[in-house]
Amino acid sequence: MFYSSWVRAMALSALVLSLAACSISPPPTEQRPTTPAPPPPIPESSLGAALPALDPADVSGAKPITLRTSGAGTVRARWVYINGAEPYNERLDKQLFSAFDVSAGGRYNPSDPATAKGAFTDGLKFEQEMVLAGGTMLGTRTSLSLVSGGNETQDSVRTEFTDLSTGAVQGGQALLSEQGHEAVRPLIDKALKELVAVPNEHSTTVPANSVPSTAAPAATAPSTTAPATSVPSTVEPATAEPLPTDALLAGAALNRDGELLVPLTNNPADATPLDTPVNVHLSAAATVSLLSEFGRRVRLLALDRVPLRPPAPAAPGQEH
């Protein structure tokens, strides 16, 4: 009896020691996937790149042309005809020769393009590109630049939207409603602040390369104390006039994300030339309610990326 109790005690002790020697690992913790941080909000307005041009090879009926001349009124130009779209092609011809006449200082007399060689250092640069081609709508951008001593200065950027089925033409300003014309100015002004160097908080000097607000500046009241020898002037001080809406939005277009792009070569506040042309990007969320009926139609064409439906091609030998 005593022996049996001793055996049971020994067995129980061995079991306790065995359990004490074992390490019980905690259950593995479940690895939950981390939630990525949300992307930063898209700014209402910012500065960015120009709207990319379409490749003529991807547009049905497109016929790209290049021209390079020498002598008086030197010109380097490139543009795109659309086979069978005669109203569009003829309007483009008038724009071309009008620009060439101005460059030549009179009636333009084209020379053989093959005679123009070497670097293009002086003259007119005319670039017309397609930025929208969908349905019967063709959007083009025309940039005029003056080249002097090898230095290029962009003079103007203009967009036109041509309905090839009717020949109707609308400019960039037609993308926005009447209310949108004024509502878009503060958005452009916000983007242009990126060009302004941040001055010392105690300084009252505006940086030389700053871009002032698009709002017309308030007239400063003249001093009531005049020097003893001065003669009061009866001429009112000139006030800066903001850039007219037609000029402000002359190059406006919509990209494939629904953004409104506004290229600027002049200061919207006072119409003076900018040192460097800029492209203002206005977000789709900020501008969709500012679009006109025509602008909404163009926006859908830009988003849907439908192919161009050009008119019937001209008869062989009758192409423009």
Burial tier of 271 (Cβ tally within 10 Å: 0-12, 13-18, 19+):
middle
More confident residue, 12 or 255: 255
Residue 302: its pLDDT value, please?
A: 95
pLDDT confidence band for 210 (50 / 70 / 90): very low
Q: What percent of the chain has pLDDT over 70?
A: 72
pLDDT tens readout for residues 142-158: 999 988 888 888 889 99
Is the distance from CB of 260 to CB of 252 less than 8 angstroms?
yes
Q: For 36-52, what is the mean pLDDT?
A: 86
Q: For 293-308, what is the mean pLDDT?
A: 95
CA-closest candidate to residue 196, choices 204, 207, 186: 207
Q: For 31-56, what is the mean pLDDT?
A: 85
Read out DSSP for the chain? -HHHHHHHHHHHHHHHHHHHHS--PPPPPP-PPPPPPPPPPPPSEEE-PPPPPPPGGGSTTEEEEEEE--STT-EEEEEEEETT-HHHHHHHHHHHHHHHHHHHTSS-----GGG--S---SEEEEEEEEEEEEBTEEEEEEEEEEEETTEEEEEEEEEEEEETTT--EEEGGGGB-HHHHHHHHHHHHHHHGGGS----TT--PPPTT----SSPPPPPPPPS---TT-----SPPP-PPPPPHHHHTTT-EE-TTS-EEEEEEE-TTT-PEEEEEEEEEE-HHHHGGGB-HHHHHHHHHHHHTPPB-PPPPPPTT---
Lowest mean pLDDT among 1-10, 65-74, 247-256: 1-10
pLDDT tens readout for residues 69-96: 776 678 889 999 999 999 999 999 999 9
Lowest mean pLDDT among 112-116, 124-128, 196-200, 282-286: 196-200
Q: For 166-187, what is the mean pLDDT?
A: 96
The pTM of this model reads 0.74
Dist CA 174 CA 165 (whole Å): 19
Please give the span between the terminal C-alpha atoms of the chain, in angstroms, as a whole number. 123
Q: For 176-189, what is the mean pLDDT?
A: 96
Residue 239: its pLDDT value, please?
A: 60
Q: Is the pLDDT of residue 116 over 60?
A: no
Lowest mean pLDDT among 165-179, 183-197, 286-300: 183-197
Residue 253: its pLDDT value, please?
A: 98
Residue 168: its pLDDT value, please?
A: 96
Residue 4: its pLDDT value, please?
A: 57
